[in-house]
Structure 1
């Protein structure tokens, strides 16, 4: 039996403070949810191994603080990222409006080799028409409904049909 290939993938989670980034990350990695909100200071990361076909991927998932005093850390944390997850709270439309800023700042600081084709994913708690239009305008970025509290679509958003494009992701 051939040895399985292992690949490290760096995933950055971005979004306004309080939108649920840490909750989603903890639910995905540890299968735990807490009602206690504790702001991330600087940055934190968790790892999770996932298998896809004959490969094992170690996801290094980075959760970064939104607070202005930590923004200078972005360059160090964003560089070398393989994917960026943008999160907003459907009940906080300002967090949706800030998706452009998060995406733009990521591209400026991460300096990916092909910024037009860098993989972004948007995670939201409910289907909303505005998110569909925004994702379409940014090159059909896939997005998924999620809820860390309800354990909905946290673990298995891969392979789901994206409602905005109809593609299998």
Structure 2
């Protein structure tokens, strides 16, 4: 039986330009893919309701620009994130090498309470271009193990490969983060009404 309380989870997607961040988000939320590339300006977000372990969860997925000139916009968009998704292109070694920088950028901008245990998920996108692969699965898997055993998926936004599975993992990891925070922020019922200290704001 589903829990009556809704959870709003803020998810940030980071990565170099053209790795497929927007395409992954659109494939997951709208089941749609387009070959036309249009760079994200600043940031945009979509929402989707999902059931995770009998809990109704609203994912607020933020797609941020990969261009360096927009990174200074990060603080407002990163604040309050429950999970960070880092995306690289399996046909681009540089995009994989930059994952570490994106992780450092996120931790610096968002300043989470417990950076050592903050949930990150890594996606190696464009699996439909296997013949052009430059980043070995084993190499990426090892990097994720060495950096806190991050969940890792290889995906194709174009062919919808592992996209739903990846975002299920993202939602589950984000929800676990919220649960831990709520242990220190109990709901308190007051005579004048209900006050929930653990309630998350809808946006940044």
| Alignment correspondent of 1:48 | 48
Kept in 1: contact 2:42–2:73 (CA 8 A):
yes
Kept in 1: contact 2:29–2:48 (CA 8 A):
yes
Q: TM-score, normalised by structure 1?
A: 0.89
Number of residue pairs the alignment of both structures matches? 159
Residue 3 (structure 1) shift: 6.0
Determine the C-alpha separation between the residues in 1 that align with 2:35 and 2:142. 31
1:13 aligns with 2:22: no
Q: Deviations over 1:56-77 (max 9, x none)?
A: 1100000001222211110100
Q: Deviations over 1:65-120 (max 9, x none)?
A: 12222111101000100000000001000000000000000000000000000000
**Judging changes above 3 Å, is the alpha-carbon distance between structure 1 residues 3 and 52 closer, same or farther for their aligned structure 2 residues?**
closer
Residue 54 (structure 1) shift: 2.8
- Segments of 5+ residues of structure 1 without an aligned counterpart are 160-169
Higher helix content, 1 or 2: 2
Determine the C-alpha separation between the residues in 2 that align with 1:2 and 1:106. 33
1:142 aligns with 2:118: no
Determine the C-alpha separation between the residues in 1 that align with 2:112 and 2:100. 17
Q: Give the SS at the match of 1:57.
A: strand
1:1-169 equivalence runs, <5 A: 4-125=4-125, 126=127, 128-157=137-166, 158=168
Q: TM-score, normalised by structure 2?
A: 0.74
| 59-68 or 123-132: bigger deviation | 123-132
**Judging changes above 3 Å, is the alpha-carbon distance between structure 1 residues 2 and 130 closer, same or farther for their aligned structure 2 residues?**
closer
Question: Highest Rg: 1 or 2?
Answer: 2
Could you say what the CA RMSD is over the residues aligned between the two structures, in angstroms?
1.5
Determine the C-alpha separation between the residues in 1 that align with 2:25 and 2:52. 20
